[in-house]
Chains A and B, each alone.
Chain A
Amino acid sequence: MTSRWSRALLNPVTLLALVVLLVLGVLVAAPLAGLIGATVPAGAGGTGTGTSWRDVLASPMSQNLFWTPLRNSILVALGTAVLSTVLGGFLAWVVVFSDIPGKRLIGVLATIPFALPSFALALAWTSVFRNDRVGGTPGLLGSLGIQVPDVLAWGAVPVTLTLVAHYFSLSFVIIAAALASLGGDLIAAAELTGASRLRVAVRIALPAVSPALLSSFLLAFAEGVSNFASPALLGLPVRFQTLSTRLYGAISTGDTERGYVLSILLVAVAAVVLYLGNRATRGRNFAVITGKSSRPRLVRLRAWRLPVLTLAWALIAATTLLPMAVLAMSTLTRRANSFDAGFTLHYWIGASDPGISHGMAGVLRDAALTTATGNTVALGACVALGAVLLGMLGAYVVRRHRGPFVTGGIGFLSYVPFLIPGIALGAAFIALFGSGAGPLPSLYGTFWILVLAGIAASIPYAFQTAKSSLGQVSYELEEAATLAGAGTGRRIGRILLPLSARGVVGGAMLVFVTVVRDLSLMVLLVTPATPLLAVQTFRYASEGFTQHANAVTLIIAAVSVTATILARRLQGARRPWNA
């Protein structure tokens, strides 16, 4: 038996499995353990004071600290989930089943909002609707002399609407793919019974895509609970707190232990919703997989055509075209969001002028922003490389290793970060690497804590991408190479990598994009020594440098959208609704 064990240990796949498990343990399990440990009293094996759980959950402070933010979070998430699913579902139906002209273009534009940084829409909103309640420059409407009511300018309504503008795009993709995979035959069979269009839609099409509707609802809900940028920009100034802004406030003002407790609670809320969503939809894929896919017969809208067309384009305009136009316009106004003082290119290319914005130069000439850009690109590249490499190794081990413990462990650890909101993951990294624990060095304030957190956050996506890319290479192709005499390295280099390269490179680009536009994960980890573009934008916006914030946001948005489209093309993702 000893020879068997030593043989197994010398097996390259087993060695690789141990390395991958170790890395995942440090990146995923350890931060979570650190987060929990920091809230457990020192006497019980933790490092905390032991009073923070009671402070947050059951003390005079807890209404302010937890219950009100929780209520706000759930309110916002519920609104986001309902509206995203309804609007995304409507647009998906229009693009897949209706006969309106230009639906192909609608389909492409509808996927763009999700590629935008989520703070872009919040910034665009303030540029239009901001009123003078908290001082600073008012938005476009205010400067035109229109009094914007508080309910539209701040709090639950604008936070929810900007989140919907972002996440309906995700619902659209999920539901459109499900509708397209139904196939025309299923609908045609129902229509041949003589049932009306409405009845077919309600009794056949809707139930058949119910898993997609549910999964879109729960995903949007979870995103709504965990989003940081929108409530931070549109709620925080008027003390409209959600769980994520509350925990940001706690940790950034030194009240770390309570912040950690709030992080754990936020993870619990998001994880439960996402887990339920996964369970509800698992094995309930009704997609009809047949060799012949029949195109759905299009519904003639006739009299409804104009209203539907108008509504669809209005939705696209309000979520993609208008926000970008507003941001672009506002960067050109001499006085933020006001046409009275005329236009200028100063905020893009102007030299430092003490009279404007405390002497900050235009974004393209600002030294601080140049550093932030360099950092952001370097971070994006490091994370993309690291996450994809780890994802590939993990996927390779899962493909080759038979042990249920190893493959299950890798699968689980690679999935867990998906359940953790970015800002809570950031908090966990501070808890673990903030002061160094055991063999782990203190990394707070360094570039490397950003890289590690980025990899941890990206691993679920990177692992799935790598698994599906490798999955497209059949086992026999690899075995044929084995029998040709090729060793593990040669097989990977000459057969597996070339055949999965497109998917993997596309995946790396998407990881790069998520890092470049990320705010919630990095906002707690960034220090003045390691500035990043998105975090810089957030600072500018909070400090009232509207034009600078909007200009940088536009740059990030342009990079995100371009890279996303390129990556999708590289991965050969056919538009799912044209399947």
Chain B
Amino acid sequence: MRVKDPMTTTQTAASISLEGLAKTFGGQPAVAGLDLSLPPGAFLVLLGPSGCGKTTTLRMIAGLEDPTSGRIRFGDRVIADGGSGLSVPAERRGIGMVFQSYALWPHMTVRANVEWPLKVDGWSAADRRARVQEVLAMLGIDQLAGRHPAQLSGGQQQRVAIARTVAPRPKVLLFDEPLSNLDARLRVDTRAELVQVHLATGATSVYVTHDQIEALAMATHIAVLRGGRLEQFGTPDDLLQRPRTAFVAEFLGSPSAVLLEGEVRGGTLRSASLGGAALAGGLDAPEGTVLTAMYRPERLVLAAAEGEPAPEAGAEVTVLEATPSAGRFVVTVAAGAAGRFSVVAEQRIAVGAKRRLVLPPAPDALFDAAGDRWEPAG
């Protein structure tokens, strides 16, 4: 860990709230009505597959795009309002942003890259020198100060980008997939370092990624976006324990939750593709209702396949992959028409082996055909 000195925060962090925020590009909605509010000092991850509107949302917060409708507030202050066309220019919002490509100015040295924003901000030469030295030392790149970006490795460029962003002590820090250009190992190291930078600056942070592991590792709050809409907003635990939609359940967690579809017959949800196995019982739902049962992967058991197969013993599955993970194994199986999914097993299972899938008595959640959480009436 290279973060050495905690930095003193001189500007108080701001809360951020989005109210009905929407953006259309040439008639195509990119973001369709986001509502969320974030306490000061929080670390929000905007999470979703590509094209879900997360980067557009970040760029609206930055002021690089203007909303088509809806409002953005920092604290009490409205900084963008699509209705009236009001938009505080990006440079006056007191934000810093780390770009996916790092966006280091190639004609300036590392020192000049970090110093220039301070110069624009009107800092005195002495203050600038001290502050540049401080942030470069904090990120462990002070010996690189005289180099040009082209002479640095990807990881070093990333550090310079972070140093340049935090130097002017922004109230809000924005990150646009900053780790996506790093190799796997460096990504894990830098992730922890970013959290330390966040803690040290105390700035409210918004971080865009499509990598749910990054999100669960770093966030105090996660907003899952899909097709420009907010699927769920909450703490990482909320989202893992109480996913509001099937999409969130499947998107989060490693391995992701297992979703099995079934039809209600006489109060019991049965999966046709798993040989009529019962997924959930005692349901107060009309005959023929289609529901999806969600199981966390560690709750499914793969039993030996010998013996006479009884329907209630579980459907037969074929092992495709067994990956060691934290002392256990993530086993991916093919389950006929029910598709492929992963479960967690204590032992390695040979690839190609047949196993019986044993379901727990009740699923962790049920979702209706639209993918929303289904609760038994009453």
* Contact of A480 with B85 in the complex, beta carbons under 8 Å: no
Q: Could you say which of A151-159, A296-304, A375-383, A490-498 contacts chain B?
A: A490-498
Indicate if B103 sits at the interface (CB-CB under 8 A): yes
Interface size on B, residues (CB 8 A): 25
* Contact of A483 with B95 in the complex, beta carbons under 8 Å: yes
* Contact of B85 with A476 in the complex, beta carbons under 8 Å: no
* Contact of B85 with A483 in the complex, beta carbons under 8 Å: no
Chain B residues with Cβ below 8 Å from A498 are 107
The answer for the CA separation of A113 and B292 in the assembled complex, in Å, is 74
Chain A residues with Cβ below 8 Å from B116 are 481, 484, 494
The answer for the CA separation of A477 and B99 in the assembled complex, in Å, is 9
Residue of A nearest to B59 (CB): A479
The answer for the CA separation of A474 and B95 in the assembled complex, in Å, is 20
Q: Tell me how far the C-beta of B245 lies from the nearest C-beta in chain A, rounded to whole angstroms.
A: 33
Among the listed B90, B91, B103, which residue makes an inter-chain contact with A477, where contact means beta carbons less than 8 Å apart? B103
Chain A residues with Cβ below 8 Å from B92 are 485
Can you list, as one digit per residue, whether each of A413-454 has a CB less than 8 Å from chain B (1) or not (0)? 000000000000000000000000000000000000000000
Max chain B Cβ within 10 angstroms of own Cβ: one of A476, A483, A495:
A483
* Contact of B90 with A482 in the complex, beta carbons under 8 Å: yes
Q: Tell me how far the C-beta of A512 lies from the nearest C-beta in chain B, rounded to whole angstroms.
A: 25
* Contact of B103 with A474 in the complex, beta carbons under 8 Å: yes
Indicate if B168 sits at the interface (CB-CB under 8 A): yes
Q: Tell me how far the C-beta of B86 lies from the nearest C-beta in chain A, rounded to whole angstroms.
A: 8
Q: Tell me how far the C-beta of A8 lies from the nearest C-beta in chain B, rounded to whole angstroms.
A: 9
Indicate if B146 sits at the interface (CB-CB under 8 A): no
Among the listed A4, A494, A499, which residue makes an inter-chain contact with B106, where contact means beta carbons less than 8 Å apart? A499
Indicate if B62 sits at the interface (CB-CB under 8 A): yes
Indicate if A7 sits at the interface (CB-CB under 8 A): yes
Q: Tell me how far the C-beta of A500 lies from the nearest C-beta in chain B, rounded to whole angstroms.
A: 10
Can you list, as one digit per residue, whether each of A449-474 has a CB less than 8 Å from chain B (1) or not (0)? 00000000000000000000000001
Q: Tell me how far the C-beta of A203 lies from the nearest C-beta in chain B, rounded to whole angstroms.
A: 41
Max chain A Cβ within 10 angstroms of own Cβ: one of B63, B97, B104, B105:
B105
The answer for the CA separation of A440 and B222 in the assembled complex, in Å, is 62
The answer for the CA separation of A474 and B100 in the assembled complex, in Å, is 12
* Contact of B91 with A482 in the complex, beta carbons under 8 Å: yes
Chain A residues with Cβ below 8 Å from B85 are 3-4, 7
* Contact of A476 with B100 in the complex, beta carbons under 8 Å: yes
Given contacts A3-B84, A499-B107, contact A479 B168 (CB under 8 A): no
Given contacts A7-B85, A483-B95, A484-B168, contact A490 B120 (CB under 8 A): yes
The answer for the CA separation of A495 and B120 in the assembled complex, in Å, is 13
Given contacts A7-B85, A483-B62, A484-B168, contact A476 B101 (CB under 8 A): yes
Indicate if A487 sits at the interface (CB-CB under 8 A): yes
Residue of A nearest to B99 (CB): A476
The answer for the CA separation of A485 and B99 in the assembled complex, in Å, is 16
Can you list, as one digit per residue, whether each of B81-119 has a CB less than 8 Å from chain A (1) or not (0)? 000110000111001110111011111000000001100
Residue of A nearest to B116 (CB): A484
Indicate if B183 sits at the interface (CB-CB under 8 A): no
Q: Tell me how far the C-beta of A483 lies from the nearest C-beta in chain B, rounded to whole angstroms.
A: 5
Q: Tell me how far the C-beta of A485 lies from the nearest C-beta in chain B, rounded to whole angstroms.
A: 4
* Contact of B91 with A484 in the complex, beta carbons under 8 Å: yes
Chain A residues with Cβ below 8 Å from B104 are 477, 480
Chain B residues with Cβ below 8 Å from A477 are 103-106
The answer for the CA separation of A476 and B97 in the assembled complex, in Å, is 10
Q: Tell me how far the C-beta of B106 lies from the nearest C-beta in chain A, rounded to whole angstroms.
A: 7
The answer for the CA separation of A485 and B91 in the assembled complex, in Å, is 4
Among the listed B84, B91, B97, B105, which residue makes an inter-chain contact with A495, where contact means beta carbons less than 8 Å apart? B105
The answer for the CA separation of A499 and B106 in the assembled complex, in Å, is 8
The answer for the CA separation of A10 and B142 in the assembled complex, in Å, is 43
Chain B residues with Cβ below 8 Å from A474 are 101, 103
Residue of A nearest to B62 (CB): A483
Identify which of residues 49-100 in chain B touch chain A, using a CB-to-CB cut-off of 8 Å: 62-64, 84-85, 90-92, 95-97, 99-100
The answer for the CA separation of A481 and B85 in the assembled complex, in Å, is 23
Indicate if A406 sits at the interface (CB-CB under 8 A): no
Indicate if A57 sits at the interface (CB-CB under 8 A): no
Chain A residues with Cβ below 8 Å from B62 are 479, 483
* Contact of A479 with B64 in the complex, beta carbons under 8 Å: yes
The answer for the CA separation of A269 and B308 in the assembled complex, in Å, is 87
Q: Tell me how far the C-beta of B28 lies from the nearest C-beta in chain A, rounded to whole angstroms.
A: 14
* Contact of B91 with A480 in the complex, beta carbons under 8 Å: no
The answer for the CA separation of A480 and B113 in the assembled complex, in Å, is 10
The answer for the CA separation of A22 and B75 in the assembled complex, in Å, is 44
Residue of B nearest to A484 (CB): B117
Q: Tell me how far the C-beta of A164 lies from the nearest C-beta in chain B, rounded to whole angstroms.
A: 43
Chain A residues with Cβ below 8 Å from B96 are 483
The answer for the CA separation of A61 and B107 in the assembled complex, in Å, is 64
Among the listed B63, B64, B99, B120, which residue makes an inter-chain contact with A486, where contact means beta carbons less than 8 Å apart? B120
The answer for the CA separation of A201 and B271 in the assembled complex, in Å, is 62
Can you list, as one digit per residue, whether each of A1-18 has a CB less than 8 Å from chain B (1) or not (0)? 001100100000000000
Q: When A and B form their complex, which 3 residue pairs have the shortest distance between CB atoms, in order from nearest?
A: A484-B117, A476-B103, A480-B103
Residues of B within 8 A of A (CB): 62-64, 84-85, 90-92, 95-97, 99-101, 103-107, 116-117, 120-121, 164, 168
- 8 pairs from A and B in contact (CB 8 Å cutoff): A476-B99, A477-B105, A482-B91, A483-B64, A484-B91, A485-B91, A485-B120, A499-B106
Residues of A within 8 A of B (CB): 3-4, 7, 474, 476-477, 479-487, 490, 494-495, 498-499
List 20 other contacts, CB 8 Å, given A4-B85, A474-B101, A480-B104. Answer: A3-B84, A7-B85, A477-B104, A479-B62, A479-B99, A480-B97, A480-B99, A480-B164, A481-B116, A482-B63, A482-B64, A483-B91, A484-B116, A484-B164, A485-B91, A485-B92, A485-B117, A486-B120, A487-B91, A499-B107
